[in-house]
Structure 1
Amino acid sequence: MKGVYLSIVIPVYNEEESLHTLSARLMPVLEKTGKSFEVIYTNDGSKDTSIKILKELQQKYPKQVRIIDFGGNYGQHMAIMAAFEEVRGQVIINLDADLQNPPEEIPKLLEKFEEGHDVVGSYRLKRKDQAWRHWGSRFANKVRYVLTGTHMKDQGCMFRAYARPIVDQIVSGTESSTFIPVLAWKLAQNPCEIGLKHDARTQGDSKYGIYELIRVAIDLATNFSMVPIQFFTFFGMIVSGLSFLLVIYMVARRVIYGPEAEGVFTLIAIVIFLISVAIMGIGIVGEYIGRIYQALCRRRYSIRAILQDKSLEKDKTK
């Protein structure tokens, strides 16, 4: 497998219904490129028969297919990171296993990459998702831009091509959690985006629910931006100033009008509001501290096994 040009990275979590179809569509596309290639599947702790199917594919294509089998479920981005550490190609393309990003679009990514771009992102044309996911994604893209300063049309689309030096820089980081598209975009010298076809999911269910999407948003905010802490610092300064003015006002009223029972309820409401804001701020600070702890003390993921042809075990061509 020396001289591999193209590496396809595919995270897998409970995708037994789509894996055979994915392989049947993907392999002919890669063969038609005329480039040497490999396909790395990361089994992210699947509970179904995904790993069994992946082993069958590896036996069918022993020189091209490799499998990273996680010891648990660590999430899509960690599955991609693990594959990034094992890739041998000079061009790395990330592809989801659900077939919503058609493998037939890979040549378009490759063509754009070979024009001299080190990162080629994609945005979904005529997106075939539920309305709440579509509008939620648009809102999330705007929030991500505010938090990271990185302007991409579709930051949530993982169908992207990366130059090997970009992947090596991503892998060399020590973060326990990271949002790969934004990090790669920041590292790139000449990134670009192209519109690619997007299909409806016909097999299986989406593994990204509302909680997972919120979790990704929190990861993004705390990994790439100090905006949340800066916001609460600025907000705290404003509230402190207003509180000082309120104290002066209440003292003045007491001097002029004497004791007033009516103001007690207003004061209680203000105190409850400030306490809730303080708790929220503490939660955000705790999120940052938790990430420091994870980076220092915790492994990002656990690999049960790497399944590949024996002839590839000593071949770690960079």
Structure 2
Amino acid sequence: MKRVTLAVPVYNEEEAIGPFRAAIEELRDELARRFEGGVRLDVLFVNDGSSDSTVERILSWREDTTDVALIDLTRNFGKEAALTAALIEAEGDAVVPIDVDLQDPPALIADMVELWLNGAELVLARRTDRSEDSLAKRSTARWFYRLHNSLAKIQLPENVGDFRLMDRSVVDAVNALPENRRFMKGIFAWVGFTPVFVDYKRPVRSAGKSSFSFWKLWLLAIESITSFSAVPLIMWTYIGLMISMLSLAYACFIVARTFVFGVDVPGYASLLTGILFLGGIQILGIGVLGEYVSSIYSEVKRRPTYLVRTRHGLSPEGSETAKTMNSKQRTR
């Protein structure tokens, strides 16, 4: 029997647990019908520091089945850390990261599993219609993919989120990467493997509201670029060279004009403009450098990506992968 684990990070999603449970029960029936009981479906929740009754509702679900497990983190570490925890702790032959809000339709997983059983190592769910998202969200997503793919060598497939099916070989490759600050979409793309696409229309949220503000999305975009591209650093070499050449050209112009027309008194406006412009360029360059230094500072401390308070339905020490990674952490 093949085992598929759904990796589900949750943060204050008490209203969405009920509809998600109903959708998963329908998915289980579909898998049993289509694959004649040859596929087992587990659900692994990672509670990322929820302050509502999310944990209680998951534990209530767990009382009715042994196929639901919960990892309760000690605080809110962020979705990327929660997803990392889910991938490390998941023990299925294939793992499917999915959000609990049903914007990633669980019914699509049956098609993904069929492709996996036919030999696909990586099945990506691609959004072909995002009309249910706001215009601002669609526009910023489009700009983000274009900016990232123009700056980074690792190309992100457009309109593909975390919702995907990964064979165990893919999950092990992702878990083997050592960095603490993890932009998961970039990591998924970095490990490679040949993808197979399944297209779908993105629906509205089943309940609750998204916890991702514009500021969080902005910080995530910066993290993605600084994690997978050195272009923002390299470009300042060329900006500095261009400003130096323009300054030399302007100096030559001033010398030539002085020989022809004599010495004049320059205006303060042009001098102030030049000082402010160069000062702004320098501060901007320092800011870009600071982003990379911040990433280096975070990595060299080697703090764990997440900490677990309790596990429900899992080994108290965690999976074999988690044990190995924790052992590496302690020896650093």
| Alignment check: 8 A CA contact 1:11 1:41 kept | yes
Superposed CA offset, 1:61-83 (max 9, x none)? 2x211111111212111111001
Partner Cα separation in structure 2 for residue 220 and residue 271 of structure 1: 33
Show the 5 A alignment for 1:48-67: 48-61=52-65, 63-67=66-70
Bigger mean CA deviation after superposition, 197-206 or 212-221: 197-206
| C-alpha distance 251-168 of structure 1, shift in aligned 2 (>3 A) | same
* 1:55-104 per-position Cα deviation (integer Å, ceiling 9, x unaligned): 2122222x211111111212111111001111111111011011111111
1:269 has 2:273 as partner = yes
Q: Matches of residues 178-217 of structure 1 in structure 2 within 5 Å?
A: 178-217=182-221
Alignment check: 8 A CA contact 1:7 1:93 kept: yes
Letter in 2 for 1:8: L
- Residue number among 76, 101, 124 corresponding to 2:104 in the alignment: 101
Match in the other structure for 1:70 = 73
Equivalent residues, number: 312
Within 5 Å, give how 1:1-318 maps onto structure 2. 5-33=3-31, 34=37, 35-61=39-65, 63-127=66-130, 128-149=132-153, 150-155=155-160, 157-297=161-301, 298-308=303-313, 312=315, 316=319
Letter in 1 for 2:159: D
Higher mean alpha-carbon deviation, 230-239 vs 212-221, is at 230-239
Shift in Å at residue 313 of structure 1? Answer: 5.0
TM-score by structure 2 length?
0.87
Q: Conserved in 2, the CA contact under 8 Å of 1:6 and 1:91?
A: yes
Contact 2:96 2:163 in 1 (8 A): yes
Kindly provide the CA deviation profile for residues 157-209 of structure 1, in whole angstroms up to 9, marking residues without a partner as x.
Answer: 22111121222122222222222223222312211322123211241111112
Give the counterpart letter for 2:256 in structure 1. Answer: A
Structure 1 position 263, deviation (Å):
4.0
**Which residue number in structure 1 is paired with residue 325 of structure 2?**
none
Question: Which has the larger displacement, 211-220 or 253-262?
Answer: 253-262
Secondary structure in 2 matching 1:5: strand
Deviation at 1:114, TM superposition (A): 3.0
Contact map agreement 1:176 1:291 (CA 8 A) in 2: no
Q: TM-score, normalised by structure 1?
A: 0.90
- CA distance in structure 2 between the aligned counterparts of 1:147 and 1:59, rounded to whole angstroms: 49
Q: How many angstroms apart in 2 are the aligned matches of 1:317 and 1:246? A: 65
Q: Secondary structure at the match of 2:190?
A: helix
Contact 1:71 1:304 in 2 (8 A): yes
Q: Secondary structure, in 3 states, of the residue corresponding to 2:162? A: coil
Q: Which runs of 5+ in 2 are unaligned?
A: 32-36, 322-332
Alignment gaps of 5+ in structure 1 = none
Query: What is the match of residue 329 of structure 2?
Result: none
Classify 1:240/1:41 alpha carbon distance in 2 versus 1 (closer, same or farther; 3 Å). Answer: same
Distance 1:96 1:175 in 2: 23
